[in-house]
Chains A and B, each alone.
Chain A
Amino acid sequence: QQQVKQSPQSLIVQKGGISIINCAYENTAFDYFPWYQQFPGKGPALLIAIRPDVSEKKEGRFTISFNKSAKQFSLHIMDSQPGDSATYFCAAQNSGGSNYKLTFGKGTLLTVNP
């Protein structure tokens, strides 16, 4: 059972456009939702994270939107740049659990064309 569903698998955006990646979760106990960015040959790195007590969090050109009732959250990249080309993973965690395991989506390969 896939607990975090991520879409699309791949995304091509023109420079300056908006990139949107969506995730949906099933476990209502999840209460921490990070996004990771991974460049080729490197490990994933935390990009931005949100908790369900807020509906939106913005850091520079990156924004997470969170819809608790729909159990969905999304990453928006404004003014997308070629340097944003990477694989993006959403994740979810139940902080009340005893193991703090992160459950990852399957990833989205973003290509930003110049």
Chain B
Amino acid sequence: NAGVTQTPKFQVLKTGQSMTLQCAQDMNHEYMSWYRQDPGMGLRLIHYSVGAGITDQGEVPNGYNVSRSTTEDFPLRLLSAAPSQTSVYFCASREIADQPQHFGDGTRLSIL
């Protein structure tokens, strides 16, 4: 029973590099989302998807891209990493209806 799986767990990047944070869920959930968590800022929504082929921006989308080609996967791409993107990133999924949102254990990203 894997739930929401995020890889990698830790990553260090240099400014200007690009990378993709992976997220996969095995619960057949339609709704998936990406958050970043920074000290004292809570969880802020970056992008979300209500189903395969459908994505939309959240609260802090700049510098990030997403795509949703399958129900299971929802990767987050950093196009040109900046130190301000140093954060812990969480992927989450749930049913479209009012069901609990399941979170992965996060990717801790440092950008030098």
Interface set of A (CB-CB < 8 Å, partner B) = 6, 9, 32, 34, 41-46, 49, 89, 93, 95, 98-102, 104-107
**One of B48, B58, B100, B105 near A41 (C-beta < 8 A):** B105
- Report yes or no: A104 in contact with B4, Cβ–Cβ below 8 A: no
Describe B's contact surface by its main secondary structure: strand
- Report yes or no: B104 in contact with A95, Cβ–Cβ below 8 A: no
The complex places the Cα of A98 from the Cα of B40 at a distance, in Å, of: 29
- Report yes or no: B98 in contact with A44, Cβ–Cβ below 8 A: no
Contacts of B44 in A (CB 8 A): 104
- Report yes or no: A43 in contact with B106, Cβ–Cβ below 8 A: yes
Interface set of B (CB-CB < 8 Å, partner A) = 4, 31, 33, 35, 40-45, 48, 50, 56, 58, 90, 92, 94, 96, 98, 100-101, 103-106
Contacts of B105 in A (CB 8 A): 41-43
**A43-B92, A106-B41 known, 18 other contacts, Cβ within 8 Å:** A6-B42, A32-B98, A41-B105, A43-B90, A43-B105, A44-B90, A44-B103, A45-B103, A93-B98, A98-B50, A99-B48, A99-B56, A100-B31, A100-B50, A101-B33, A104-B42, A105-B42, A107-B43
The complex places the Cα of A45 from the Cα of B94 at a distance, in Å, of: 12
Contacts of A99 in B (CB 8 A): 48, 50, 56
Task: For A47, give the chain B residue with the smallest CB separation.
Answer: B100
The complex places the Cα of A99 from the Cα of B97 at a distance, in Å, of: 10
Task: For B54, give the chain A residue with the smallest CB separation.
Answer: A99
- Report yes or no: B103 in contact with A95, Cβ–Cβ below 8 A: no
Contacts of A93 in B (CB 8 A): 98
With a 10 A CB-CB cut-off, give which of A32, A41, A43 has the most chain B CB atoms.
Answer: A43
The complex places the Cα of A30 from the Cα of B45 at a distance, in Å, of: 17
Contacts of B33 in A (CB 8 A): 101
Between A and B, 17 residue pairs with Cβ closer than 8 Å are A6-B42, A42-B106, A43-B92, A43-B103, A43-B106, A44-B43, A44-B90, A45-B103, A46-B101, A93-B98, A100-B96, A102-B45, A102-B101, A104-B43, A106-B41, A107-B42, A107-B43
